[in-house]
Amino acid sequence: MQYLNNDQINELISISDVIETIEDFYVKGDQASVSVPERMHEEDGDNTILLMPSFFEDYYGTKLVGVAPGNPSLHKSTIHALMLLSNRQTMEPLAMMEAQELTALRTGALGGISMKYLSNEESSIVGIIGTGVQAFSHLQAACAVRPIKHVYVYSRSEENVKRYIEKVNRIFPELKINYATPIEVIERADIIITATSSKTPVLPEVPDLAGKHIVGCGSFRPFMQEISDYIFESIDEMYVDTMTALKESGDLIRAQERGLKQENVVTLEDLILNHEQFKSKKNELTVFKSVGMAVYDLVTAILIYEKLLKSDQSDGSSGR
């Protein structure tokens, strides 16, 4: 059995690879082979434990996730996770992977797909609330699908903002990045990303949001809310990665309380397969909300594993 850490995963795949893989999953994948049992979801104080099994084609995957919202104050990652990839027929374990980067890349890729099909093609300014791994992976995704030139970032912790800016400057030296207030983030950005564990909305009210695209990836429990009520009242449709988000995310629970109907919710699958019909939405305010789904982790793990096999074969054929 192979073991891959986060650094090895980053060497094997890019966020563009994951975006393409998730799109191919819906466009080319054998959907009849997909099985996604209900995930186990347990609370331990403020922390959350998730056990997420899934099946696709020849593979079976299980991800174990621990989410600790208080970790940033300890300078630790909010999410810790492991992914076990197995042969579906024999149940033989094939690979164990550290899943922090896997999770960040797949979640960023989901947001990236929404940006690809719902944001304006000329979008060049990103605004981000939050400075954790998802805040970075969503910036990676934005840069992969749009000609991003400028980034505005806000966090309650100036120290976290400083570290985030240093990381962006190191990896994306061509980008201009500035600390900003929440009002500056939402007013100046074409694409707005919320990546927090906030229990109260983080986006202040501004008079004109036409043509902006909002990606919310932080509200994964019913009592969390990042997106403000006035935004829900300003849209006719909501875009989600999976319909289970309607009962898991506080943002979407609140949106339904404010009048959002299920028939006005568009899934990522619909967006990918029918993206031409959503082109007219690029001049409107659009909102995408993700909570994650086990099969997205699985197809990302398959991508990593198959890239590893090709890398090993290449090394072997070159005599190394």
* 29 and 122 fall within a common domain: no
211: left (phi > 0), else alpha (psi -120 to 50), else beta? left
* 7 and 122 fall within a common domain: no
What is the CATH classification number for the domain harbouring 66? 3.30.1780.10
CA-CA distances (angstroms) from residue 197 to 34, 46, 157, 262, 306?
A: 30, 11, 14, 25, 33
**Proportion of the chain above pLDDT 90, given as a percent:** 83
What is the CATH classification number for the domain harbouring 149? 3.40.50.720
* 221 and 201 fall within a common domain: yes
* 137 and 258 fall within a common domain: yes
Provide the pLDDT for residue 312. Answer: 79
Is residue 246 a contact partner of residue 240, using CB atoms and an 8 Å limit?
yes
* 33 and 160 fall within a common domain: no
Provide the pLDDT for residue 72. Answer: 83
* 67 and 21 fall within a common domain: yes
| pLDDT value at 214 more than 90 | yes
* 44 and 130 fall within a common domain: no
* 157 and 256 fall within a common domain: yes
- pLDDT, tens digit (0-9, with 9 covering 90-100), for 222-269: 899 999 999 999 998 999 999 988 998 999 999 999 899 999 999 999
| pLDDT value at 314 more than 80 | no
* 41 and 112 fall within a common domain: no
316: left (phi > 0), else alpha (psi -120 to 50), else beta? alpha
Q: Which domain holds residue 197?
A: 108-292
CA pair distance 259, 233, nearest whole angstrom: 8
Provide the pLDDT for residue 319. Answer: 47
* 312 and 269 fall within a common domain: no
Q: pLDDT confidence of 320, banded at 50, 70, 90?
A: very low
CA pair distance 6, 20, nearest whole angstrom: 20
Is residue 169 a contact partner of residue 201, using CB atoms and an 8 Å limit?
no
Give percent helix, percent strand, percent coil of the chain, each to the nearest 5: 45, 25, 35
CA pair distance 169, 136, nearest whole angstrom: 12
Tell me how far the alpha carbon of residue 310 is from its chain's centroid. 26
Residue spans of alpha helices (H) in the chain: 6-12, 15-27, 100-118, 133-145, 158-171, 182-188, 229-232, 245-248, 250-257, 268-273, 294-317
| pLDDT value at 302 more than 80 | yes
Give this prediction's pTM.
Answer: 0.92
CA pair distance 271, 257, nearest whole angstrom: 24
* 78 and 140 fall within a common domain: no
Structural domain count, the chain: 2
Is residue 188 a contact partner of residue 176, using CB atoms and an 8 Å limit?
no
- pLDDT, tens digit (0-9, with 9 covering 90-100), for 46-71: 998 989 999 999 999 999 989 898 99
Residue 219 in tokens: 């509200």
Provide the pLDDT for residue 79. Answer: 80
Q: In what order do the strands lie in the sheet with 59-67?
A: 2-4, 93-98, 79-87, 59-67, 47-56, 40-44
To the nearest 10 degrees (0 to 180), the angle between helices 133-145 and 158-171 is: 40
Average pLDDT over residues 271-298: 93
Provide the pLDDT for residue 316. Answer: 61
**289 CB-side CA count, 13 A:** 29
User: Which of 292, 294, 303, 291 lies closest to 36, judged by CA?
Assistant: 294
Average pLDDT over residues 16-26: 98
DSSP three-state, residue 224: coil
Is residue 142 a contact partner of residue 160, using CB atoms and an 8 Å limit?
no
* 172 and 264 fall within a common domain: yes
Residue 246 in tokens: 């309607």
Average pLDDT over residues 34-55: 92
